[in-house]
Structure 1
Amino acid sequence: MSVVRDEQGWTFQDVVDIVAKATRRSADRRKAWRWEHWGVEPDAESQAALAAELGIPMKEVHRLGWPGWLPDGGPVRTGFPWTREGTLQALDDTLEHAMLDRRGFMKLGGEALTVLAGQWLTEDPEPVTAALAGGRIDAQFVADLEDGLPRLRRLEARLGGPRARHLLGAELDTVAGILKEASYTDRIGRRLLRLGAELARLAGWSSFDAGLHAAAQRYWTSGLRAAHAADDRALGANIIKSLSLQCYDHGLFADARALAAAAVDGVGEVTARTLAMLLLRQARAAAACGDHAECDRLLSAAETQMDRTGAGDDDPAWTGYFDAAEFHAQTATCHADLGRPRLAQRHFATALDLMPAAKSRDLATYTVQSARTHTALGDADHAVHLLETAIPMITAAPSQRNAARAAAARAELPLTAKDPKVQHLDQLLGTLAA
């Protein structure tokens, strides 16, 4: 729904006004916010009013259901060749459709994703030498483009996905145009492809954070091809790791596990920090599958790698977020999924103590997760306090995933709706809609 609003220029109030005009109901904008952020499905009359406004036949509304009937960018295509030309085709397809994706669910199923990961593991990258029309690109020009990546990473982390995805998409469009139109050496071509892959990864992450999962899949699958063409195994593994997390969020735990394993198997020689990051993704998938022994083994292996990290390591720049605070937060999530709330809470407390205030989105994520462990431990009052603390963070760095987490944590509270603490919390949650 969010991308429909974006393209139409609608606010939440505009959406409910359309429904109210057709149904003669109240126009409370919080309804539209709940449809978009809490997964609440509009009733039949509301959907009929929106479909009429968008020109969607009712037979499609009945056939596809909510939110499947909302206009989107078509299927996610994965059949492009694992070549330079195939990479450019994939990027073109992504740039044409990703901003039009309006569906808040994944389009690629587990088999399609695991086949894609298997191809990434086995295909050999071809040489990249372009001699197309346009100017000759030199190393300094590419270095200038690469210098913008740290700023883009900071903006995405601090502003949140909904605000950053358009900027990232425009940057990726620029790099894709250079790849198609300029001429350059094989070495420069690989650097451009690596830059395109990282921009696609970031654009995918911002779409994922905004709840636009099909758009995220478009960016990540094309970015995976770009990383492969650049012969950057570590970057490809990081993109596979993102796809694994998306499956995890959708309850596709076996698929998440298979993808996380593919990332570790195909990453090659990497720094200790990079390997620890990938092992923790495997551990999370194992925990979600209820495999206590395998999760504990992977947690131990990840901890060993973290202990080996040093200031002189040549870590990829995209591992910068993965510090001690993130390590403890990810470890806590594993223990929470395995039904170990007390152990999870200790790691969450450490993570929150170590995490810098500038990381509003991450602080919100793990504050909400910590609240859920307090609920599991029987301390509902402190859980309410933590949720109240998280709401301004979500406001500062908007995130559909964090809004949904907060709603889920609220639903778990063993307190009645008449409890004054809960009423105050609900009022604060309502401010997110405004």
Structure 2
Amino acid sequence: MPRRVRVESPDVFVHPLSYVRAQMGWTYQDVVDVIARRAGNMARRREKAWRWEHWGVVPDRVSQRALAVELGIPEECIDRYPWPQWLPDGDPIRTDFTWNQAGSSKAICDAMECTVTDRRGFMKLTGTSLIAFAQRWLDIEPAELASVLRGGRITEDFVDRVEEGLPRLRLLEATYGGRRSRRLIDAELGMVAEVLENSSYTASLSQRLHGLAAELGRMVGFACFDAGLHTAAQRYWVAAVHASHAAGQRALGANILKSMSLQCHDFGRVREALALARNANEGAGKTTPRVRSMLALREARAHAALDDAVTCERLIARADTEIGRGSRDDDPPWVAYFDEAEFHAQAGICYLDLGDHRTADRHFTRALDQLAPSKVRDRATYLIKRSEAQAGLGAVDHAKELLTTAIPLIQQAPSQRNADRVFAARTGMPLPRRDSHDIDEQLVLLVK
């Protein structure tokens, strides 16, 4: 079996156990040795710990109890939280900031302190706490904006210049991938956070600055998500939702919740994905048809993952109607990526999850035909997904061809999510041994 491909540095914490090992200085062999020492009879094979960390295998109760004792964790935590949630994995992600300008500034500063060095590749904010966070955003109205903060006076020209740089950063992230772009976007967000914290400005400029922080937080969060740094992504997004609220931009907040829903979908936490997508859809407020189409499709994907074909297809039909209405001149800049190609790709993924490979393939074909040449990362994604549809239709040779075509594109625009997709598609294909070896050889290029 080929090893799991990672395009980020090899010390990314892909699982809470990997974080524990890094903190304790343990190898996989050390993990099984300390468990065996406390639990008694147990085969001391390092592969067991590797499978817990990479394959989703759950250790038995005796092993979990022994590890908890070694780490000084009360046994009742094992009963209260399922594996691996009871493992210590550093500071929690805060969601208790107040829903006003001061709370927004604190949320941004908290994210900035933790995320640049945060290498964890797993989600920490899950379950009811994640859903409750989205519900609070939906229910609470923005408080009165403070007119000034201490520090130098900020002019409209300054804010204009920062806003003018957003398209360049969006293009950078979309073209070169999250791994290459996240630090630059983070630096831009840091500058805006410092202005919010230390400068003075009018109430109208305050809204614009918080809107900038929200969009930059969304962008750097997505860059981290794309790079496989999921804890960092969640920290940025929580701060970004607060900032969008302080800015009075509900549609932007909905777009951030949409990204959080997508992350849950990727982790198989589909009910949380649905709750977040619904909150985004219901809380977006008055917005453009294209934004409504995008949000409807995100909710459709959650229903598809739950095998709810009726609701999913109704939402796809609504999205199709909405995207054909209105003028793009009225759209917020952050929805520009959602064009006809992206619509068909998202619809195709819905049908892929529903098992309708023929309809999925038709959508992916249209997406690839309409995709702009500059969107290298998206082309790789669409090719991988179409290869899955072709494999489902029994066209294995064509599926292999599509998959191998995507690999050089991932080298051009590195994306951990696309690397993981290649791995998943490769392992799900009934390929002859020689063909499997050929793809594995190309997969190795992703980590060079």
TM-score tier, shorter chain, comes to 0.7 to 0.9
Contact 1:101–1:212 (CA<8 Å) still a contact in 2? yes
Tell me the amino acid that sits aligned with residue 273 of structure 2: A
Contact 1:391–1:429 (CA<8 Å) still a contact in 2? yes
SS of equivalent residue, structure 2 residue 394: coil
Distance 1:80 1:283, change over 3 A: same
CA RMSD of aligned residues (A): 2.9
Q: TM (normalized to structure 1)?
A: 0.85
SS of equivalent residue, structure 1 residue 131: coil
Is 1:302 equivalent to 2:316 in the alignment?
Answer: no
Partner in structure 2 of residue 340 of structure 1: 356
Structure 2 residue aligned with 1:410, among 426, 437, 441? 426
Partner in structure 2 of residue 364 of structure 1: 380
Matched residues in 1 for 2:117 and 2:88: separation? 8
Structure 2 residue aligned with 1:88, among 71, 91, 105? 105
Partner in structure 2 of residue 158 of structure 1: 175
Distance 1:143 1:6, change over 3 A: farther
Structure 2 residue aligned with 1:77, among 72, 94, 97? 94
The 5 A counterparts of 1:7-22 are none
Matched residues in 1 for 2:56 and 2:296: separation? 37
Distance 1:99 1:295, change over 3 A: same
Contact 1:288–1:338 (CA<8 Å) still a contact in 2? yes
Contact 2:135–2:279 (CA<8 Å) still a contact in 1? yes
Q: TM (normalized to structure 2)?
A: 0.82
Distance 1:274 1:213, change over 3 A: same
Matched residues in 2 for 1:284 and 1:177: separation? 38
How many Å apart are 1:355 and its aligned residue? 0.6
Structure 1 residue aligned with 2:258, among 241, 264, 286? 241
Partner in structure 2 of residue 29 of structure 1: none
Tell me the amino acid that sits aligned with residue 362 of structure 1: D
The 5 A counterparts of 1:29-40 are 39=54
- Residues 148-170 of structure 1 deviation map (CA, whole Å, 9 limit, x = unaligned): 10000000001101111111111
5+ unaligned residues in a row in structure 2: which ranges? Answer: 1-5, 14-21, 31-49, 58-67
Contact 2:148–2:203 (CA<8 Å) still a contact in 1? no
Matched residues in 2 for 1:364 and 1:127: separation? 45
Matched residues in 2 for 1:198 and 1:67: separation? 32
Distance 1:66 1:103, change over 3 A: farther
Distance 1:342 1:289, change over 3 A: same
The 5 A counterparts of 1:25-424 are 39=54, 59-60=70-71, 74-311=91-328, 313-417=329-433, 419=434, 421-424=435-438
Contact 1:67–1:104 (CA<8 Å) still a contact in 2? no
Q: Percent identity?
A: 47
- Residues 284-338 of structure 1 deviation map (CA, whole Å, 9 limit, x = unaligned): 1111111111011111111110111434x31000001000000000010111111
Tell me the amino acid that sits aligned with residue 294 of structure 2: M
Tell me the amino acid that sits aligned with residue 320 of structure 1: A
Answer with 124-133 or 82-91: which moved more. Answer: 124-133
5+ unaligned residues in a row in structure 1: which ranges? Answer: 8-14, 24-34, 43-56
Contact 1:332–1:347 (CA<8 Å) still a contact in 2? yes
Contact 1:3–1:102 (CA<8 Å) still a contact in 2? no
Tell me the amino acid that sits aligned with residue 368 of structure 1: I
Contact 1:332–1:344 (CA<8 Å) still a contact in 2? yes
Tell me the amino acid that sits aligned with residue 442 of structure 2: L
Matched residues in 1 for 2:116 and 2:9: separation? 8
Contact 2:156–2:205 (CA<8 Å) still a contact in 1? yes
SS of equivalent residue, structure 2 residue 330: coil
- Residues 29-72 of structure 1 deviation map (CA, whole Å, 9 limit, x = unaligned): xxxxxx9xx94699xxxxxxxxxxxxxx9945999999999996
Distance 1:131 1:269, change over 3 A: closer
How many Å apart are 1:272 and its aligned residue? 0.7
Tell me the amino acid that sits aligned with residue 431 of structure 1: L
How many Å apart are 1:4 and its aligned residue? 7.6
SS of equivalent residue, structure 1 residue 75: coil
Contact 2:207–2:246 (CA<8 Å) still a contact in 1? yes
Q: Which has the higher contact order (CA 8 A, sep 6+)?
A: 2
Contact 2:210–2:244 (CA<8 Å) still a contact in 1? yes
Tell me the amino acid that sits aligned with residue 437 of structure 2: Q
Partner in structure 2 of residue 28 of structure 1: none
SS of equivalent residue, structure 1 residue 251: coil
How many Å apart are 1:126 and its aligned residue? 1.6
Tell me the amino acid that sits aligned with residue 265 of structure 2: Y
How many Å apart are 1:243 and its aligned residue? 0.8
Contact 2:261–2:274 (CA<8 Å) still a contact in 1? yes
Matched residues in 1 for 2:390 and 2:54: separation? 24
Distance 1:67 1:258, change over 3 A: closer
Tell me the amino acid that sits aligned with residue 363 of structure 1: R
